[in-house]
Amino acid sequence: MKNNNVTIHDISKALEIDSSTVSRALNDSPRVSQKTKDKILSKAAELGYQRNSLASKLRTNKTHSIGVIVPRIARQFFSSVIAGVEETAFNAGYDVIICQSMDDYEREKKLMNTMLSNRVDGVLISVSMKTTHYDHFKEYQKQGFPILFFDRPCDLENSTNVIIDDFKISFEATEHLIEQGCKNIVHFAGPQNSELYKRRTNGYKAALTKHHIPIREDYIFESTLMKEDGIQMAQQLLELPIVDGVFSSNDISAISAMQYLKEKGIKIPQDIAFVGFSNEAVSAVIEPSLSTIKQPDFEMGKVAASLLFEQINTKANLRINQTMILEPELIVRDSSRRKK
């Protein structure tokens, strides 16, 4: 019968091999021949030996786990990023603790305290929309742990960001609407305290400027970009003199706005063309299908995790400010296709 309390000394006794050799074999030491390793591993499996990971963590002062904090796991973008992180972490022998801030600053602070108390070896985080102060990140750094920001950049000193070029792709999305004949384009903006949403707004403005279209602040609607925000912004949009295009900083608010406008008899894209952002799964199957921005989400997760493990192993985060920029892609679908 297998016994989960089997120790290396039991294996040592059963094989009449020194316990230090057994320990080295179980840790895949090159000092032990492959033949002896196979013999020890076979006996360990037979006896039902299980490694005491807690003891190992105490000896090495590493938990071999990392934390990932995202605003909302349900968003396809974040779930795909997590998949990239987990694949990389699994191959590196790390466990992943996943939490969601729900875009709430206070909740984010509590989660960082949880990461610190659990002594995770590093943290990957996409900060909440409401985060404007970084003391909770500084405290984690102060304890000697690396923290890496992805998707939503953070200007915290001695930190790494893995992002996309939000300005450039927002410029392209807005210019696409202009090329389709739109001249009165509303922008569904995210909170402007966020560097990410600020860059998307600046990209929108730059495209208007290039094409000599006036920037009208009353055509920029700021919100948290939830489903209900999309409906509210659609109602607000109908109060403007003329609107023929919308560039939204996410798909969720764009889709709910489109649905509301369709109920009011607005034709899309003939009356108002739409471009969203983030390529949610539903964006390809709604009617009309939503033009949007495809982000390299899975790749972002892999790159972010790889950089974090590099920092964990070298403590590079204590010396280097680094920003990795990945390239997104504009996907043109029926919601903005007005010209053949």
- The predicted-structure confidence for 22-40, as pLDDT tens digits, reads as follows 888 887 788 889 999 899 8
Q: Say yes or no: 185 and 266 in one domain.
A: yes
237 and 217 inside one domain: yes
pLDDT, residue 52, reads: 60
pLDDT of residue 113: 93
Q: Does position 50 have pLDDT exceeding 80, yes or no?
A: no
pLDDT for 58: 46
Residue 159 confidence (pLDDT) above 90: no
- Angle at CA 103, nearest 5°, toward 222 and 75? 90
HEC letters along the chain = CCCCCCCHHHHHHHHCCCHHHHHHHHCCCCCCCHHHHHHHHHHHHHHCCCCCHHHHHHHHCCCCEEEEEECCCCCHHHHHHHHHHHHHHHHHCCEEEEEECCCCHHHHHHHHHHHHHCCCCCEEECCCCCCCCCHHHHHHHHCCCCEEEECCCCCCCCCEEEEECHHHHHHHHHHHHHHCCCCCEEEEECCCCCHHHHHHHHHHHHHHHHCCCCCCHHHEEECCCCHHHHHHHHHHHCCCCCCCEEEECCHHHHHHHHHHHHHCCCCCCCCCEEECCCCCHHHHCCCCCCEEEECCHHHHHHHHHHHHHHHHHHCHHHCCCEEEEECCEEECCCCCCCCC
Q: Between these two residues, 57 and 68, which has the higher pLDDT value?
A: 68
Examine residue 268 and state whether it is found in any structural domain, yes or no.
yes
Mean predicted confidence (pLDDT) in 46-58: 65
156 located within any domain? yes
- The CATH number assigned to the domain holding 93 equals 3.40.50.2300
Question: Is 24 found in the same domain as 137?
Answer: no
Say if residue 21 is in the same domain as residue 73: no
Q: Does residue 313 have a pLDDT over 70?
A: yes
Q: Is residue 274 part of a domain?
A: yes
Specify whether 32 is located in the same domain as 72: no
Contact present, 118 and 54 (Cβ < 8 Å): no
Based on the fold, state whether residues 288 and 301 are members of the same structural domain.
Answer: no
Domain assignment of residue 56, yes or no: no
Mean pLDDT over each residue of the chain, to the nearest integer: 91
Give the pTM: 0.80
Does the pLDDT value for residue 140 go beyond 90? no
User: 278 and 314, same structural domain?
Assistant: no
Tell me if 1 is assigned to some domain. no
| pLDDT over 70 (residue 54) | no
Between residues 98 and 29, the one the model is more confident about: 98
Backbone angles phi, psi at 143, to 5 degrees: -80, 0
Amino acid letter, 169:
I
**What value does the mean pLDDT take over residues 37-60?**
73
Is residue 203 over pLDDT 50?
yes
Residue with more model confidence, 2 or 100: 100
Residue 46 and residue 104 in one domain? no
Q: Which of 9-23, 108-122, 160-174, 197-211 has the lowest mean pLDDT?
A: 9-23
The pLDDT assigned to 1 comes to: 38
pLDDT of residue 180: 97
* Domain annotation covers residue 336: no
Q: Give yes or no: residues 183 and 156 share one domain.
A: no
Q: Quick one: average pLDDT of 83-90? A: 96
Omega before 296 cis (within 30°)?
no
Peptide bond into 153 cis (omega under 30): no
Domain count, the chain: 3
What is the pLDDT, as a whole number, of residue 2? 46
Q: Given this model, what pLDDT does residue 6 score? A: 84
Alpha carbon distances (Å) from 88 to 67, 92, 151, 258: 13, 6, 18, 38
Is 315's pLDDT higher than 90?
A: no
Q: Residue 45's pLDDT is what?
A: 87
Given a cut of 70, whether residue 318 has pLDDT beyond it is no
Does residue 57 sit within a domain?
Answer: no
The confidence score (pLDDT) of residue 221 equals 98
Instruction: Check residue 7 and give its pLDDT.
Output: 85
Instruction: Assess whether pLDDT exceeds 80 at residue 245.
Output: yes
Q: Give yes or no: residues 174 and 264 share one domain.
A: yes
Ramachandran bin of 225, using left for φ above 0, alpha for ψ from -120 to 50, beta for the remaining angles = left
pLDDT at 236: 97
User: CATH no. for residue 41?
Assistant: 1.10.260.40
Percent of the chain predicted with pLDDT > 90: 69
Residues 289 and 307 reside in one and the same domain: no
Report whether pLDDT(198) > 50. yes
Query: Do the domain assignments include residue 250?
Result: yes
Domain residues for 39? 8-51
- Does residue 130 sit in the same domain as residue 228? no
* Residue 201 pLDDT > 50: yes
